[in-house]
A and B are shown apart, each in its own frame.
Chain A
Amino acid sequence: AQSVTQLDSHVSVSEGTPVLLRCNYSSSYSPSLFWYVQHPNKGLQLLLKYTSAATLVKGINGFEAEFKKSETSFHLTKPSAHMSDAAEYFCVVSDHGTYKYIFGTGTRLKVLA
């Protein structure tokens, strides 16, 4: 069965410093993995997706994630945080052959000036 674990419910970083949001997944098949971001009063916006092509995936706004099958991880990183990155981030897994997305519990990113 699919599952996703986001290891940190809250992360605080200073503006200009690196961001690391951790995600581990469990999947029976070859999964598709996604990161979504939710700003206040906005919809869930796709940051990036992994679909069994390149293991290092680049997304919007300077974010990237690396798929590591041996560690069953899909951590999200950004070299330098910006104030506008403050939001809630969701790691999502979807198995082949199902319409269902499985969401992690979310990580709230706070960026300090």
Chain B
Amino acid sequence: EPEVTQTPSHQVTQMGQEVILRCVPISNHLYFYWYRQILGQKVEFLVSFYNNEISEKSEIFDDQFSVERPDGSNFTLKIRSTKLEDSAMYFCASSETGIFSGANVLTFGAGSRLTVL
């Protein structure tokens, strides 16, 4: 069964450093997403991406964050100048169809746990 693959599974970084989390979506999917889950809290939407641009973002997704699809397979989340409160599990997801084709069903990766010290 096709999977969304995320690397690294766990990253520890110092406050103020830049972090890049990587994702390989399912190959025929066109829509890409990042979600995060701070320990003990809900899974929260960060951003959706289609056709090489952001299609929707939450209020969490400020200038500290950016996303990119640098090639035909990878989808990255960059966090600049990390803060303690950025410590969380970050989930990448992809979907084949978007919001105008019935239910938009997401396939999620296993997550990347980011710890900021």
Residues of A within 8 A of B (CB): 32, 34, 36, 41-46, 49-51, 90, 94, 96-106
Binds A, one of B12-20, B62-70, B75-83, B105-113: B105-113
Interface string of B73-110 (1 = CB under 8 A from A): 00000000000000000010100001100111111111
A96 vs B111: C-alpha distance in the bound complex, in angstroms? 26
Q: How many residue pairs between the two chains, A and B, have CB atoms under 8 Å in the bound complex?
A: 62
A102 vs B106: C-alpha distance in the bound complex, in angstroms? 12
A34 vs B42: C-alpha distance in the bound complex, in angstroms? 15
Q: Which of A96, A98, A103 sits near B43, CB closer than 8 Å?
A: A103
Q: Which of B3, B42, B104 sits near A99, CB closer than 8 Å?
A: B104
A41 vs B42: C-alpha distance in the bound complex, in angstroms? 17
**A44 — which chain B residues lie within 8 A by C-beta?**
43, 91, 93, 108
A23 vs B108: C-alpha distance in the bound complex, in angstroms? 21
* Residues A101 and B45 in contact, CB atoms below 8 Å apart: yes
Q: Which of A32, A43, A97 sits near B110, CB closer than 8 Å?
A: A43
**A102 — which chain B residues lie within 8 A by C-beta?**
45
* Residues B106 and A104 in contact, CB atoms below 8 Å apart: no
* Residues B91 and A32 in contact, CB atoms below 8 Å apart: no
